[in-house]
Structure 1
């Protein structure tokens, strides 16, 4: 009953805002001015438009608050945004931003360097807001004039540009100087430089309208954004199939049948690879500290079955280097152009036996001390695709003589086990950015790990290798793309030959869209932005490229 009631409410809301795709000229005109978006089912909204908050509502980042630069992770390009240009010092110890002039806040006040300096200093004053740990690297921020900002670092660090200029949202000093901790401020009357402002908020609907003071002439062509709330994929999928939603970021089973086939002229999807789903092995525990065991596990896995069954054919097998392809293809070493995973159970058993493991009467391999190859793979309860992947892995590994069980845990227990090292193996994601460095740094840097029992931020397998750290350091200390590519190639070799983590499949970017009301959407032939409505600030770039359908 609650689901039906929710659907009826959403239908009324969408009909009221012209999102139902009527057939008359008047209704088509209304539909072609309003873009209706569902990023993901989150239930009723709680009012919070602070770009510093981890629970900021959809639309706060990108649509209302903007960054200095825009990084397109689909093609690796960097574009000026609130900053018209930037320049690194030769030794990568500082960066100077020349701000775009004549930009105004949505209240009509001028945007200046004082706002940028204030925003960055807020992160220093309130470390909880500094989620990218910028002030571990930043030494000082200065504004020589109203249009210039100079950020000095305490060490060479070229990758910081992504976090500093691509993921930090600038707020107006005048409105934020007296609010205190910005992570606790709900910002019910947001003032930003972005293309939209807040029209209305209810727990069921966030409504944004075009900012008349927006700095890009003639944009946006979209006049209004509607974000209705949903409790589950089911309700959103129903309205999506009826052309009552324009843009969603949903996992939709059998999408060709349930969505595309209903209106092949207008209903589309594109699920580009976003990250790499890994099998993390706890290297602090035997036998995972043995390369032969890691190689045997990898060789035994049927990744094609994970791709086609566990991931419904949406998430292809990952590359052995863990590069996100094709987005990072320019970094792929020629040594690995044709490299691909291949299931090989004979090779897996040969590796184990060559390492001294012997199969017992129960069919399970054991080491020379008699300790059996027996372990658990952790996964979050209810993450059905990953649960299926783990069941496939357990079956594959049992077939080569390993006793493997799947442990379904609550999310909190799952992430705590990864961070504290109290696990055997687990399936999980990777953190990415505009180049492979960010995945490698997050997953492999010794700065991101810790001893078992201590919190490891992201290097959950506890890989601690001087060569890896040296290559990451080489990348960080230069802005020379050739030197950076050389460093990435060295880490690719480590991934392939030493398998600190085991790539499985790519994690998809969920993106469904209708061209009934608007055209200009990104697709595989024109990947001008990460296309999902839940990725910021890319969502803003997508909307700025849309035009009403004829």
Structure 2
């Protein structure tokens, strides 16, 4: 049956964009680390429920500035700095996209859908975004939902093989088995069928509010002609190593983006070259070098010296980015973009085998520790802080009223904190630190934060907790380990990490499976999900009318407020930069940090240019 008027507007409208269209240091133990150093911007989750989608991606210069496409005689080389190691590529093995790396995905990859110059969906590998109006999104009589994508013709993988709907059909099972954790799109897909070379029908178990928004982070196509044999062999033998260790994920990586892999030096960087047959036109830049630095100071210094031309969100701290902005605003040497960032959240370790202090598994104790942090006065503690978080989503979210002030009950209150801890059996001993009334042990916990622009959180949060008598081990996570799934998932107390764009990751951790050796540590690091939270999030994701979405999201918010499986702290600010000789990033309004419902900041890399 056709979907009725109650369906979200994002499924009901489609319009075309103007312009031409084309329809290694040793790994330490968790306790063996050095301690780290000591205008309100509202962030919103991409409001997919009310977005106006566009039919095709522009090819007239949007996002890249003017240019003729004439490469001339000189080689145009762009150098991008990141503060994390890159060892592998692709959805299966890539790991945590930190240090400015995550926003680069659409330089070398492409997906069915991306976004335009603003938060509008646009067809990329697909000719257009499926909608209810044109009959490409339907709900079947048995309650399942089908979404039909018509693919562009003439698209090729970087090795020259044609891209077809059969690649999309093949991709489902590997993505489900190796990369589905937290990906609600893949998790709820029942099948993908190629009805012909250029038509793919995606069937979902039920209605899904983002069923047509298959952007790069939600469904990354895989090349059947390269990986099918290895996947079948691994499935037959039960040994995944043949698939996950396939050279495709490193030196032989090919995809569908504007730039193709030329070389990869694990931990050091990668070199990409323009793909001559890119379906939206040959890129204006010839070579992109992605250079990995061990720390943000090195990235910053390289930007100042001119040997690095760009960095993206998460690559340097807010303090360094603002220093660069002040300098460039004076001398005109480049542009620093200040963008709404993600929700920063404290995630308690919920697995007893890794949690150092069992008391942290008690919601009452988490309640006390949450009240001990003065979130309102974090503004000013770092240039990257914008406003304390009192809800799962920011004020610009279309459903903000459903979660507004849902966490306001946990306002800063040290006296209340101490009273709650006393009721839970923790009192200050003669020497000051909290001790357990049953066995006199001190309250000791670990606090982990990645090095880089968020490292300031480590001493600030630790200081709040020390004031109430908790002994805190500060654990900075170095760049070399930030993409190590096992290391990240076995933290011993709390981890301060991104909640994604306006809390999206928070919803994922409430439903995804925990990271483990079985899923190559690609699941939720905190193991926050319960049967109740999974059911609540699923209800939200299947809700299609605005009223049902509102009610179901409020129930999720109420659950978080009651049990505190995670503790939102503040909404941050992101910084991107380009040197004056680089023509790029005039499309930043159409993306955000770690986008799950839009394209990335690099989605128009084929239009970038060098002056």
Normalised to the residue count of structure 2, the TM-score between the two structures is 0.65
Question: Is 1:78 matched with 2:121?
Answer: yes
Comparing both chains, which one has the higher relative contact order based on Cα–Cα distances under 8 Å and sequence gaps of 6 or more?
A: 2
Matches within 5 A, 1:104-253: 104-105=155-156, 106=158, 110-123=162-175, 127-128=177-178, 137-154=188-205, 158=209, 166-177=217-228, 181-187=242-248, 188=251, 191-198=254-261, 206-216=270-280, 220-249=283-312, 250-252=315-317, 253=319
* Structure 1 gap ranges (5+): 1-27
2:109 is aligned to 65
Q: 1:232 to 1:516 in 2, by over 3 A?
A: same
Which residue in 2 is equivalent to 1:95? 146
What secondary structure is seen at the aligned counterpart in 2 of 1:270? strand
- SS of 2:444's partner is strand
Q: Which residue, out of 570, 591, 597, partners 1:529? A: 591
Q: Unmatched 5+ residue regions in structure 2?
A: 1-70, 131-135, 232-241
Aligned equivalents of 2:439, 2:154: Cα separation in 1: 70
Q: 1:460 aligns with which of 517, 526, 534?
A: 526
**Cα offset for 1:241?**
0.9
Aligned 8 A contact 1:332 1:489 in 2? no
Q: 1:68 offset after TM fit, Å? A: 1.3
**Rounded Cα–Cα distance in structure 2 between residues aligned with 1:173 and 1:509:** 37
Q: Which moved more, 1:161-170 or 1:475-484?
A: 161-170
Q: CA deviation at 1:505?
A: 3.4
> How far apart, in 1, do the equivalents of 2:572 and 2:160 lie?
41
Q: 1:330 to 1:100 in 2, by over 3 A?
A: same
Going from structure 1 to structure 2, the CA distance change for 1:385 and 1:255 (only over 3 Å counts) comes to: closer
Q: In the superposition, relative to structure 1, how do residues 371 and 509 fare at CA in structure 2: closer, same or farther (>3 Å)?
A: same
Q: Does 1:514 align with 2:558?
A: no
**How far, CA to CA, are the matches of 2:179 and 2:569 in structure 1?**
33
Aligned in 2, Cα 1:51/1:136: closer, same or farther, shift over 3 Å?
closer
CA distance in structure 1 between the partners assigned to 2:209 and 2:411 by the alignment: 36
Match 1:503 to one of 568, 572, 588: 568
Structure 1 residues 170 and 456: alpha-carbon distance in aligned structure 2, compared to 1, 3 A threshold: closer
The CA deviation string for residues 407-451 of structure 1, in whole angstroms up to 9 with x for no partner, is 53878899769857x84x312325546x75x4233333385599x
Aligned equivalent of 1:493, options 539, 551, 558? 558
Distance 1:182 1:415 in 2: 18
How far off its partner does 1:491 sit? 1.9
Separation in structure 2 between the aligned mates of residue 37 and residue 160 of structure 1, nearest angstrom: 33
Q: 1:109 to 1:287 in 2, by over 3 A?
A: closer
Which residue, 284, 290, 294 being the options, matches 2:366? Answer: 294
Q: Structure 1's 542 and 32: CA in aligned 2 closer, same or farther, altered over 3 A?
A: farther
Alpha-carbon distance in structure 2 between the residues aligned to 1:257 and 1:97:
48
Contact 1:95 1:152 in 2 (8 A): yes
State the alpha-carbon separation in 1 of the partners of residues 205 and 192 from structure 2.
Answer: 12
- Deviation (angstroms), 1:518: 0.9
Say if 1:190 and 1:335 are closer, same or farther in 2 by CA, change over 3 A. closer
- Indicate the residue corresponding to 1:377 in structure 2: 446
Q: Is the 8 A contact 1:199 1:207 kept in 2?
A: yes
Counterparts of residues 424-503 of structure 1 (less than 5 Å): 425-430=493-498, 432=500, 436=503, 438-445=504-511, 448=514, 457-458=523-524, 460=526, 462=528, 464=530, 466=532, 468-503=533-568
Does the 8 A contact of 1:278 with 1:505 survive in 2? no
How far apart are the structure 2 equivalents of 1:315 and 1:339? 18
**Under a length normalisation based on structure 1, what TM-score does the superposition of the two structures give?**
0.71
Q: Secondary structure at the match of 2:465?
A: helix
Cα distance in 1 for partners of 2:226, 2:103 equals 19
**Structure 1 residues 270, 365: closer, same or farther in 2, change over 3 A?**
same
Q: What's the offset of the Cα at 1:261?
A: 0.7
CA contact (8 A) 1:390 1:427 kept: no
Tell me by how many angstroms 1:189 deviates. 5.7
Match of 1:329 among 378, 392, 397: 397
Contact 2:500 2:594 in 1 (8 A): no
SS at match of 1:238: helix
More divergent stretch after superposition (296-305 vs 140-149)? 296-305
Which stretch shifts more, 111-120 or 298-307?
298-307
In 1: Cα distance, 2:84 partner to 2:462 partner: 31
Match of 2:94 in 1: 54
Is 1:406 paired with 2:473? yes
What secondary structure is seen at the aligned counterpart in 2 of 1:521? coil
Give the secondary structure class of the aligned counterpart of 1:441: helix
Helix, strand or coil: the match of 1:492? helix
Query: Deviations 1:185-223 (Å, cap 9, x if unpaired)?
Result: 33456554322234566787744343343333x564445
RMSD of aligned C-alpha atoms? Answer: 4.7
